[in-house]
Amino acid sequence: MTPPLRLAPALVATALVLTACSGSSGTSSKTASTSAASTGASAPAGKTTLVVGLSGDIGQPPDPDVYYANNGLAIVLNAYEGLVQYKNDADTVQIAPRLATSWTVDKTHTVYTFTLRPGVTFHDGTPFTSAAVKASFDRRNAVKGGAAYMTAGVKSVDTSDPMKAVVTLDAPNSAFLDYLASPFGPKMQSPAGIAKYAGKDHDQTYLQTHDIGSGPYTLTSVQPGTEYDLTQYPGYWGKKSPFTKVRLPIFSDPSALQLALDKGQVDTVVAALPSSALKKYKDKKGISNYFLPTLQSALVTVNPTRSFFATVPARMAFLKTINQQQLVSQVLGERSEPATTLYAKGMIPGGADKQTITYDPSAMKAYAKTLPSGTSMSIGYASDNVNAQQMANIVAAQLQADGIKATAKGFPTSQVFGWVQDPPKGPDAFIDGNNGPDGGSPYMWGHVFWDKTGGIDYFGCDDPQTDSELNTAVKTGDTALYVSAAQKYAATGCYLNLSYNKDWVVAQSWLTGVAAAHNIGANELDFSLLGVG
């Protein structure tokens, strides 16, 4: 036996002993601090590549008419632009210009006229004109993706003036501007590109690996499950950042993502780290934390089809037993604040949609006494949401103290969406750690959460008057009617707006412009507005 071979077992043994010894520690702050200290926080000289860590693959192709999830918006919103967007760095919903510089809406909310920004070109060199508006709307309708409803009501687009698009709707819709400002809203695509790469699937194959947008960056590399790369578009009409390339590597494990951030191999993480990491990064040298406003909330939904919650008083008693202030602060910490309104924060001017449920555990104790001994109930949460799991466990423990056999149970996403077809098969209640509407119109909130056809009314708890008032209000934008609809739905006891959630952005301290690159509608940053400082 040669000497190196003789040493091999001992070397491997030593390495494995050290591995085993460190294996139980998890990602301690001490470890992170040590590794971060070696990287420092000074602005890297001549840094032209931004690395944005993604937690998990983007899931769907980054096609603006298909993509309807979360972290892939980082690609969609930097490669494509809409006619309008929500105003950056603002904590209320305000429509701001993007590819349209101005717009008018007729009194009936049926005709929207957009003046288009001159000098804009798509990544294939095609100039941006009103023809692109029509082609982009048509493509969205043809693809029939999840957000196709946003253009389904478009009756016509007048393109007679290349720099003016006159959009006429089938029916009045005061939420249409919000559809266009939504991160999932219709994005402008090159009409030449749409025609050239149509194939048999309306460009869907081509747009899995390319883009035909006008945004500050163009998609240059797609490695599903590994990394997506963007390259700065030299012909972009707007501000350009020093980052000529943006890399978006994928981390399937949050610990690995945190370690990469600690070692300076990732520059920023947007709304992807668990709340359990808040403490670790709070005072970390070389790291900046941003808590930026969103339209997202944590929500409690109650299942009226289950015998436990068959009556309104029972449902109300349950909602009252939730100590909103304590639960939000304990689990969500700085990234959230207790919700005081029925819609998203600031959606209704002046907070007229006040949520009136107050903490009163005596109501549930009284209800528990009326139940047979050992009555059980379950509180569901999405199995991939650690915050919701923690909240469900805390609420279940409170109910157990009242003598109820309460359990918290995780469910995969697809099962959660299946309950509405057969609500009694769902749990008695569900805690949603983070959810929100597509846009800032109160209709977009009320419709998805309170109308059983909306998509996120998990247990089909429906109040026909609420639906009717929402459907009337969307035609006129009548705020009072929106408030009335919300109050009627709140009276069902099926719903509690638990918290206003923020996007927690963690970034190396040298990265500037983070807040200015973020808006309330998107969980992502506009990379063209970031800088090095």
Partner 1 sequence: MSRFVAVRTASAAGLLLVLSFIIFCLQAVSPGDPVRASLGANSSPAAVAEARRRLGLDDPFFARYWHFLRDLLHGDLGQSLRTHRPVTTDLGDFLPATTELVLVAFLLALLLGALFAVSASLRWPGGTAFRAVLLVGAAAPPFLLALGAILLFYAHLGWLPASGRGGDEGAGGWVLLGSLLTLHLGTAASALQHVLLPALVLSIAPAISIGRILRASLDGTLAADHVRTARAKGLPEPGVLARHVVRNSLGPAVSMAGLQLGFMFAGVVVVEQVFSWPGIGTYLSSSIPVSDFPAIAGVTLVLGAVYIVLNAVVDVLQALADPRTTA
Q: Which of residues 444-483 bind partner 1 (CB under 8 A)?
A: 444, 448, 453-456
Size of the site for partner 1 (CB under 8 A): 81
The radius of gyration of the chain's CA atoms, rounded to the nearest angstrom, is 25
Answer yes or no whether residue 18 interacts with partner 1 by CB under 8 A.
yes
Q: Is 77 in the site for partner 1 (CB under 8 A)?
A: no
Return the SS3 of 487: helix
Where are the extended beta strands (E) located within 59-161?
84-86, 95-97, 100-105, 111-116, 154-158
Q: Torsions phi, psi of 22, nearest 5?
A: -90, -5
CB of 16 to partner 1, least distance (A): 4
Stretch that binds partner 1, among 44-52, 58-66, 168-176, 500-508 (CB under 8 A): 58-66
Nearer to partner 1, 88 or 267 (CB): 267
Nearest in space to 213 (alpha carbons), one of 61, 64, 88: 64
Asked if 386 is part of the footprint of partner 1 (rule: CB under 8 A), the reply reads no
d(CA 107, CA 133): 22
- Kindly state the smallest distance separating residue 146's Cβ from partner 1, in Å: 3
Tell me the window of 40-48, 75-83, 361-369, 413-421 that interacts with partner 1 (CB under 8 A).
413-421
Partners of residue 502 on adjacent β-strands: 293
**Does 43 interact with partner 1 (rule: CB under 8 A)?**
no
Residues between 80 and 109 with contacts to partner 1, criterion CB under 8 A: none
* Four-point Cα dihedral 512, 518, 523, 527, nearest 10: -50
252 near partner 1 (CB under 8 A):
yes
Nearest-angstrom CA–CA distance, 524 and 505: 9
CA angle, 302 then 303 then 309, to 5°: 90
Closest distance between partner 1 and the C-beta of residue 14, in Å? 8
When binding is defined by CB under 8 A, the residue of 40, 44, 47, 68 that contacts partner 1 is 68
Residue labelled with tokens 């760095």: 89
Minimum CB distance to partner 1, residue 5 (Å): 9
Which residues inside 292-331 make contact with partner 1, applying CB under 8 A?
none
CB of 287 to partner 1, least distance (A): 16
CB 113, min distance to partner 1, A: 26
Q: Which stretch binds partner 1 (CB under 8 A): 61-69, 269-277, 342-350, 388-396?
A: 61-69
Of the two residues 165 and 273, which places its CB atom closer to partner 1 in the complex?
273
Residues 204-223 within binding reach of partner 1 (CB under 8 A): 204, 208, 221, 223
Window contacting partner 1 (CB under 8 A); options: 128-136, 260-268, 373-381, 392-400: 260-268
Choose between 69 and 192: whose C-beta lies nearer to partner 1. 69
Ramachandran category for residue 69: left, alpha or beta (phi over 0 → left; psi -120 to 50 → alpha):
beta
SS (H, E, C) 147-176: CCHHHHCEEEEECCCCCEEEEEECCCCCCH
Indicate the residue among 222 and 278 with the shorter CB distance to partner 1: 222
Residue entry with tokens 């460190």: 22
* 424 binds partner 1, rule: CB under 8 A: no
The position carrying tokens 């478009």 is 154
**Binds partner 1 by CB under 8 A, chosen from 144, 282, 285, 405:** 144
Give the DSSP H/E element, type plus range, for residue 366. helix 361-369
Binding partner 1 (rule: CB under 8 A), the pick from 20, 45, 160, 372 is 20
Q: Which of 24, 358, 370, 373 binds partner 1 (CB under 8 A)?
A: 24
- The order of strands in the sheet holding 111-116 is 100-105, 111-116, 164-169, 154-158
59 binds partner 1 (CB under 8 A): yes
User: Whose Cβ is closer to partner 1: residue 236's or residue 495's?
Assistant: 495
Pick from 334, 340, 332, 428: nearest CA to 388:
332
Q: Which amino acid is at 34?
A: T
Q: Extract the tokens encoding 41.
A: 């926080």
Q: What angle do CA 441, 323, 457 make, to 5 degrees?
A: 40
Does position 142 bind partner 1 by CB under 8 A? no
Give the strand pairing for 84-86 and 111-116: unpaired
Closer CB to partner 1, residue 208 or residue 487? Answer: 208
| Stretch of 13-21, 76-84, 235-243, 271-279 lying at the interface with partner 1 (CB under 8 A) | 13-21
- Residue 113 within binding range of partner 1, rule CB under 8 A: no
Q: Which is nearer to partner 1, 36 or 316 (CB)?
A: 36
Nearer to partner 1, 287 or 420 (CB): 420
CA atoms within 13 A on the CB side of 409: 14
**For partner 1, the closer CB: 222 or 515:** 222
Q: Are 264 and 36 in contact (CB under 8 A)?
A: yes
User: Would you count residue 12 as binding partner 1 (CB under 8 A)?
Assistant: yes
Contact 189, 491 (CB under 8 A): no
By the 8 A CB rule, do 84 and 97 touch?
A: yes
Residue ranges in 145-204 that form contacts with partner 1 under rule CB under 8 A: 145-149, 152, 184, 204
Query: Site for partner 1 (CB under 8 A): which residue of 46, 119, 225, 533?
Result: 225
Question: Quick check: helix, strand or coil at residue 380?
Answer: strand
Question: Among residues 103, 137, 228, 251, which is the contact residue for partner 1, using CB under 8 A?
Answer: 251
Q: How far apart are CA 359 and CA 355, in angstroms?
A: 12
